[in-house]
Chain A
């Protein structure tokens, strides 16, 4: 007995303190116990109602239908309550008025974030374990095989884990109460918008999947390709969001961007190789095109974040700058800092577009269907150029005209305002002045070509060509005007004591 206690205590010592604290609080608190009881009650009620209806004895699909309903309830609970519970708690712990003192312990930011994630995952497992007996019971009602039950539960579990990580990122965003409230409402709207269609999809999709049963497909390459893609995408998204949350709670003086940029570059490379193999295997360009589009969008968002990073580097970061020139150049791309971030994001967009061009040249026969290689690439180039122009333009405006009014950390807000101006205000003014609507009015915004591409518009090529001209002018203009700033930033990217004239002891808030 003593041995068992000692063993348990040793195991307890190895656990992440955050997991221990969160689970203790969940067990001692009333909120999660209430959720669990309500959840079990709903499951029992649903099961009871279903079993007392006549269809259960007449239908050969009773088990499948019952399983779909239960899976919907489970997904709803796991996507709504567990992330909300985790996100709200984290947000309240990081409230600007009363930051929880766990953030000034010697716990590392990564321990805090992964601890929160693991604790929420354990709560999700608890909900799953409460639901599993009901789910397994549906097997006895016919229409569903056990592999289908377990595979779909695993799939929804990954979805729930992504939801938890999203809530953690939202909870870590440094903002005042009003902004947090807006974020919370936006998050709720997003959940309702995604959970309801997901619920409906679950009602329909498993039906089609169950007609043959997952058990019969489990030995096929198609099944494992799909399953591994979902698993890899889920893990990549969870890791990316986790690193983002870690960066958000790390000290301002830390090199917060480094792990994030290394990870994203690694994922870019791995997924690039993966989709290339996939594309060759199915002899279609779709995986590569979607990979390119996804990464261009991702780095476009990256540009908005990058311009909001700090421009003056602290002593701590500067001390870690390599002294060798080529290493320093590499560090400039990956270290925290506005200019380095802009160059890195732009370079990644450029590399993505170049990869697609090379792919198009190597395998021209793969491009078929409604859009051509040039159209697809054109839309991505327009998107990339505008993603470069808006944030960098916002950075220029802030430095030239609003330096004393808007902190560097809010440059993204100016960029969003600029984007909103060309996407909504100018077209609306033109609409009210002329009384007619022209698609050409959106050429100053990336939204125009994106919509036209999505709707497979007949005049897409003309719109892309015109947008491209405007986007090139904008990008060259802001690029040229920003050259002195880039040069200054690169010159200042030196280890301490190499450039004493420019050394400052200012810790500019980001």
Chain B
């Protein structure tokens, strides 16, 4: 399943909140949607969830337009908003049961689905509690459960980790991995970029309503270039290793971080492999040689200017 966002723009009065943005993601992918406050993330996600209509442009989910056929698109999208459910006078179970009914589930199928979702999101123990009595983390779980109740192939999640404690964040990360493994396409926005780095296959960075970078983190960090960063730790001759690395033609920069050496290598995976082979043959006792992925936080800082609309 392919989700195409095509030249979407959105005006609020005279303010251009989203400016002609286009990107694509597919089933099984987790894509981070990041940007400063007021960049247009929530607006884009609301448009994708059919809560708002774009001023121009469209998005399609497997060819179904969210503008022309929002009723059909809604069946395919699960939306987790940044605002938590505000109903004061309904229990968790009744809330999920209502949404299951609203998506056309009936009889024993509805019962089974609601119970299974409650189990999956760890809500079984609190299913009879009213929503207003829940903590923020629990409300986030309810929100996620509601989005999953009709088993949508696409999940759009706006700041799902905001306000969660460390344990809840880890659990959310695990849930997302499971959902991605089930083949769901997930678009997720968050300000906690280190966490996004760990689970995202790619990222779309937006600033002032425009996309400033998109793709996998490597592509965003060094567009067009084939390079990688490696961290090396040797048990002997650490000073010699540092000097040797400086002289190597494929190495562009070298940093010494305690007993570790971080080097940027221009070239493919083969170049890294050859480098390791050379070092071992030169008598260095290498105990660690690992490739470091691009860090979303640094990528974000590199490509954005921190301007808001």
Contacts and interface: CB of A to CB of B under 8 A. Distances in A.
Nearest to B52: A99
B51 A314 contact: no
Given A10-B107, A17-B98, A17-B101, A108 B90 contact: no
Interface residues of A, number: 34
A136 interface: no
B57 A505 contact: yes
A345 B80 CA distance: 43
A94 to B, nearest CB: 11
Nearest to B54: A507
A105 to B, nearest CB: 4
B81 interface: yes
Contacts of B150: 106
Interface stretch (B70-78, B209-217, B220-228): B70-78
B130 A28 contact: yes
Contact of B50 (A13, A98, A104): A104
B91 A252 contact: no
Contacts of A55: none
Contacts, number: 94
Contacts of B58: 505
Contacts of A316: 65, 67-69
Interface stretch (A19-27, A280-288, A471-479): A19-27
Interface string B86-103: 111111001000110111
Contact of A104 (B49, B68, B83, B130): B49
A25 B107 contact: no
A28 B98 CA distance: 15
Contacts of A491: none
Given A30-B89, A105-B103, A106-B71, A251 B130 contact: no
Contact of B74 (A99, A105, A314, A506): A105
Contacts of B102: 17, 102, 105-107
Contacts of A420: none
B24 to A, nearest CB: 18
Given A9-B107, A17-B102, A314 B90 contact: no
Contacts of B54: 507
A9 B55 CA distance: 44
B280 interface: no
Interface in A104-144: 104-108
B141 interface: no
B74 A25 contact: no
A13 B71 contact: no
A106 B103 contact: yes
A315 interface: yes
Contacts of A314: 67-68
A425 B180 CA distance: 65
Contact of A21 (B49, B74, B75, B90): B90
Interface of A: 9-10, 13, 17, 20-21, 24-25, 28-30, 97-99, 101-108, 251-253, 314-316, 319, 505-509
29 contacts: A9-B107, A10-B107, A13-B107, A17-B98, A17-B101, A21-B101, A24-B94, A25-B87, A28-B91, A30-B89, A97-B83, A98-B86, A99-B51, A101-B81, A104-B51, A105-B74, A106-B71, A106-B75, A106-B150, A107-B102, A251-B71, A253-B53, A316-B69, A505-B58, A506-B55, A507-B56, A507-B67, A508-B55, A509-B55
Given A21-B94, A102-B99, A106-B102, 15 more contacts: A9-B107, A24-B94, A29-B88, A99-B51, A101-B99, A105-B102, A105-B103, A106-B75, A251-B50, A251-B53, A314-B68, A316-B65, A505-B57, A506-B55, A507-B56
